[in-house]
């Protein structure tokens, strides 16, 4: 009988050759099995939605954010406000009775804009609203007075290079998309300096303006002279463009007191709900705590940070404990290019195989439309199925390519990534401007965002298997 069983087993084995065993010793499930498993979360998903959208947690993420943003205000890298924000969140997460609340040290850039202003002197006296760009140098103490050269593109600048020497280059580039147009903010000073300009003023990277300049980070280039650079409003850029096209000489006085200090100490802020079965495996939800030094940073990225906190709060309030650890990370130094996230990645990448999915919300918390996802086709199919659990609030779409400066490091190494996709039609009206305040936020929309974020992160954290990669 033993020999008959052995012969049967040897003949039976080849059809499973090359197929890995799952953690619990069973053979890999079919997708139909996975669909059934996900469908089993419908009652939990409904409970999360009810609590976030209709229940006691209704408007909680908005109200928490309002207190935070109104009390602390903008949180620029290296500032005392950012230090206060991190201290505030550390205490708040502890008071929320989350687990393993701790701070992970990071070094971040410390730049301050100082006093700054600009005035058009010719053909008339006109005050120009400006916001210096991050890492910009100052003007000389007496300021800079120079004629303006207005261009609409880098190509035009290069064609008119002979005209640029000794002038202030004004870029009046049209807004196409943020990712395409932002190159003028990041490279504008460098390209202007290459042709001998003494400063650059960039039309704000905004799809709409009410005479409001938008700031952001810019990058100098080794071997290229550093010149002062700032953003101006869409209206002023277009006005100077019209004047120039009419042959009118435009002269501007610019004064900026910007200063760069040595890097400052800061922290990524971390809290968890520890997994019940595989605590070493991580589902990471995140947003960044730092902001620019104008407005309140309520939209960028207070909303994303606070719905990520809300995800853990909702899970805790419902008495749920997923199999894997649900980890909240509130990044620091994102606005300078993901400084905190890069240092977090370097510290934790040795455990990269234990990261199930990395999630970041950093494009506002307006009316949610679905989830953007980066990963294998198999993982996408699973996440698409998870999104069907959100049918009660009619948010089930899945989009290509997750986006997030802070999670890119992980996604490039093959870790599945997800980002919240919401209605950003007005996002760049307020982005990096004085307009980024709590007035932009809507509590009902934040409730829906929190529901999406929580259902997706909890189900992935609790499924029998990690997402395939």
Length of the chain: 469
Do 220 and 190 meet the contact criterion of CB atoms below 8 Å apart? yes
DSSP run (H or E) holding 119: strand 116-122
Distances (CA, A) of 203 to 38, 212, 237, 253, 370: 48, 10, 6, 17, 32
For 394, the 3-state DSSP assignment is: coil
C-alpha 287/C-alpha 251 separation (Å) is: 42
Q: Nearest-CA neighbor of 291 among 108, 64, 62, 91?
A: 108
Cα angle 272, 276, 282; round to 5: 45
Do 296 and 74 meet the contact criterion of CB atoms below 8 Å apart? yes
C-alpha 396/C-alpha 134 separation (Å) is: 38
Please count the CA atoms within 13 angstroms of the CA of 84 that sit on its side-chain side.
Answer: 13
Residue that has been written with the tokens 């080849």 in this structure: 14
Q: Nearest-CA neighbor of 422 among 457, 371, 383, 456?
A: 371
Of 191, 272, 334, 363, which one is the catalytic site residue? 334
Do 399 and 368 meet the contact criterion of CB atoms below 8 Å apart? no
Q: Is 272 in the active site?
A: no
Distances (CA, A) of 369 to 45, 92, 421: 17, 29, 6
Q: 298: which 2 tokens?
A: 């309520």
C-alpha 335/C-alpha 355 separation (Å) is: 24
Q: What is the sign, positive or negative, of the torsion defined by CA atoms of 393, 396, 397, 403?
A: positive
Write out the DSSP string of 325-379: EEEEEEESSGGGTSHHHHHHHHHHGGGGGGEEEEEE--S--SSEEEEEEES-HHH
Q: Which residues are catalytic?
A: 334
């Amino acid at each position: 009988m033993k020999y008959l069983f052995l012969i049967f087993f040897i003949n039976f084995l080849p059809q499973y050759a090359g197929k890995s065993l799952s953690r619990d010793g069973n053979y890999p499930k079919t997708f139909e099995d996975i669909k059934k498993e996900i469908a089993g979360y419908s009652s939990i998903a409904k409970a999360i939605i009810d609590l976030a959208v209709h229940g006691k947690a209704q408007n909680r993420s908005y109200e928490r954010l309002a207190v935070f943003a109104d009390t602390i205000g903008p949180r620029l890298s290296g500032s005392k406000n950012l230090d206060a924000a991190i201290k505030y969140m550390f205490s708040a997460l502890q008071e929320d009775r989350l687990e393993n609340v701790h701070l992970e040290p990071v070094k971040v850039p410390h730049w301050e804009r100082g006093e700054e202003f600009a005035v058009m002197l010719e053909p008339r006296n006109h005050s120009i609203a400006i916001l210096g760009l991050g890492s910009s140098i100052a003007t000389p103490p007496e300021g800079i007075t120079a004629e303006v050269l207005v261009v609409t593109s880098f190509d035009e600048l290069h064609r008119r290079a002979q005209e640029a020497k000794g002038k202030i280059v004004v870029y009046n580039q049209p807004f196409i998309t943020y990712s395409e147009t932002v190159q003028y903010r990041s490279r504008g000073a460098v390209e202007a300096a290459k042709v001998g300009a003494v400063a650059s003023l960039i039309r704000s990277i905004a799809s709409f303006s009410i005479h409001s300049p938008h700031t952001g980070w810019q990058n100098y280039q080794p071997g290229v002279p550093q010149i002062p650079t700032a953003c101006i409003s869409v209206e002023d850029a277009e006005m100077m463009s019209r004047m120039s096209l009419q042959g009118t000489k435009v002269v501007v006085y610019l004064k900026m007191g910007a200063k760069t200090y040595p890097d400052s100490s800061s922290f990524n802020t971390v809290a968890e709900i520890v997994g019940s079965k595989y605590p070493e495996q991580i589902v990471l939800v995140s947003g960044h705590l730092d902001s620019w030094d104008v407005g309140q940073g309520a939209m960028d990225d207070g909303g994303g940070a606070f719905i990520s906190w809300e995800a853990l709060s909702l899970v805790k309030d419902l008495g749920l404990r997923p199999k894997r650890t649900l980890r909240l990370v509130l990044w620091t130094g994102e606005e300078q290019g993901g400084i905190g996230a890069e240092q977090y990645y370097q510290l934790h990448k040795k455990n990269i195989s234990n990261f199930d999915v990395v999630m970041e919300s950093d494009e506002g918390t307006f009316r949610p439309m679905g989830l953007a996802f980066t990963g294998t086709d198999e993982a996408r199919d699973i996440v698409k199925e998870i999104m069907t659990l959100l049918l009660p609030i009619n948010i089930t779409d899945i989009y290509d390519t997750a986006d997030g400066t802070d999670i890119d490091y992980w996604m490039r190494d093959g870790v599945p990534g997800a980002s919240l996709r919401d209605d950003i039609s007005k996002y760049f009206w307020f982005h990096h401007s004085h307009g980024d305040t709590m007035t932009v936020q809507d509590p009902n929309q934040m409730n829906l965002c929190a529901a999406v974020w929580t259902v997706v992160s909890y189900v992935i954290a609790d499924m029998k298997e990690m997402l395939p990669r």
